[in-house]
Amino acid sequence: MILSIESSCDDSSVSLTEIATKRVVYHKKISQETEHSVYGGVVPELASRLHAVDLPRVLEGTLKYIDRVKAVAVTNQPGLSVTLNEGLMMAKTIATMQSLPLIAVHHLKGHIYSLFIEKEATLPMLVLLISGGHTQVIKVESFERMEILATSMDDSVGESFDKCAKMMGLGYPGGPIIEELAREGDEDRFELPIPLRNSPLIAFSLSGLKNAVRLKIVSLGGVEEMTHRDRCDLSASFQKAVKLHLLQKSKKIFTKESIKDFAIVGGASANIYLREAFEQLCKEFDKQIHTVELKYCSDNAVMIGRYAIDAYERESFTSIEELSVTRSRKQESGTLL
Ligand code: KG4
Ligand code: ZN
């Protein structure tokens, strides 16, 4: 089995996955959403202190399987360095005590491999990753070769939902709250700009849209004056603009890339409204769509373990001295993940 650990942001998660069958034997996760909710976003110092308490708690149940563990996998980038370190320290300790090899996992590759939990990897695939930290389209040709085709110039999809929710006086994380309110709302009430609509750039940008939402809130008399209806309508109008932006740029990629399989992954891929829009788009372009089981869209150790199985088979290990939090370079399109 692989023992995997995820602590890149505000989820403490540990999992055990059988190497031969890819079966998930154990998975526990403690989310810190309630604790960060009062601040409207993740506070790194608080997150790291909570991981120090919660990681041992989610690890506890793995003890009885420890003799069957063949390697320890841990997320080492990208993420908050203070929280990544908590996971790394735990991984190094277990690896030392049990004389096990270590596998360093790139968090975004983990999200990509969430598509293959309890199954074989089927590649190549075009993947739209929409999370709290990233918006990217990645051409995943193989385990070794993942090329970024488009990336965000500013706020990511999840981040823009979180920030708009905060501006409207809603909680954290904003994604599920906005999606829920939008279901009751009129998406055509507020006219919001579709980002980069007239630009040939194949890239994503959401800070302008976020600002347009801020100005609408001001024109409604400020957050205190907003009614429930205003919140529902603004959520729906915002979500529609995000959808149209993602669709427009994805279409451009679809016309260039012949790969038949397309997937959406990451925390924001749990959004049903966005999923349905992409299902429709894939029909139009004769592509096969792939999505992730809802419980594995947001951060979890199972996806880290799934990636690590393929790394283990390639003996892609990192020594204890080398394993550290890696500062991710800025990822331009055209570069490899
Ligand atoms: O992948 P994830 O758990 O963490 C990162 O790697 O960043 O993604 C978390 C993000 C948050 O910004 C959250 O608001 C967003 O995913 N999210 C959603 C939905 N559920 C979670 N965004 C839009 N609609 C949702 N239903
Ligand atoms: Zn993530």
Mean pLDDT, residues 196-200: 97
Query: CB count, 10 Å around CB of 201?
Result: 12
- Which of 32, 36, 134, 161 has most ligand 1 atoms within 8 Å of its beta carbon, as the pocket-test mutant? 161
Residue 34 burial by CB count (10 A; 0-12/13-18/19+): exposed, middle or buried?
A: exposed
Which is more confident, 333 or 24?
24
The CB of 268 under 6 Å from ligand 1? The reply is: yes
DSSP assigned state of 298: S
Residue in 76, 57, 69 with CA at minimum distance from that of residue 99:
69
Mean pLDDT, residues 43-68: 97
The CB of 6 under 6 Å from ligand 1? The reply is: no
Is residue 309 classed as helix, strand or coil in its secondary structure? helix
- The pLDDT tens digits of the residues spanning 262-289 come to 999 999 999 999 999 999 999 999 999 9
- The pLDDT tens digits of the residues spanning 205-221 come to 999 999 999 999 999 99
The CB of 79 under 6 Å from ligand 1? The reply is: no
Which is more confident, 88 or 334?
88
Q: Is the pLDDT of residue 39 over 90?
A: no
Residue 173 burial by CB count (10 A; 0-12/13-18/19+): exposed, middle or buried?
A: buried
Among 33-37, 38-42, 57-61, 220-224, the range scoring the smallest mean pLDDT is: 38-42
The CB of 305 under 6 Å from ligand 1? The reply is: no
Ligand number nearest CA of 160 is 1
The CB of 9 under 6 Å from ligand 1? The reply is: yes
Residue-level pLDDT at 122: 97
Residue-level pLDDT at 101: 98
Task: Note whether 334 and 45 are within 8 A (CB).
Answer: no
Is residue 30 classed as helix, strand or coil in its secondary structure? strand
Structural tokens at position 65: 């399987």
- What is the residue-wise DSSP string for 61-84? GGGGGGGG--EEEEEEESS-HHHH
Residue-level pLDDT at 333: 87
> Of all protein residues, whose CA lies closest to atom 5 belonging to ligand 1?
132
Q: What is the pTM of this model?
A: 0.97
Structural tokens at position 37: 């909710």
- The pLDDT tens digits of the residues spanning 175-191 come to 999 999 999 999 999 99
- Which of 298, 303, 331, 337 has most ligand 1 atoms within 8 Å of its beta carbon, as the pocket-test mutant? 298
d(CA 218, CA 213): 9
- The pLDDT tens digits of the residues spanning 137-169 come to 999 999 999 999 999 999 999 999 999 999 999
- The pLDDT tens digits of the residues spanning 214-246 come to 999 999 999 999 999 999 999 999 999 999 999
DSSP assigned state of 201: -
Hey, which bits of the chain come out as E strands?
A: 2-6, 11-17, 24-31, 71-77, 102-106, 125-130, 135-140, 146-151, 261-265, 288-290
Residue-level pLDDT at 61: 97
Residue-level pLDDT at 236: 98
Residue-level pLDDT at 250: 98
Q: How confident is the model at residue 41 (pLDDT cuts 50, 70, 90)?
A: confident
Ligand number nearest CA of 239 is 1
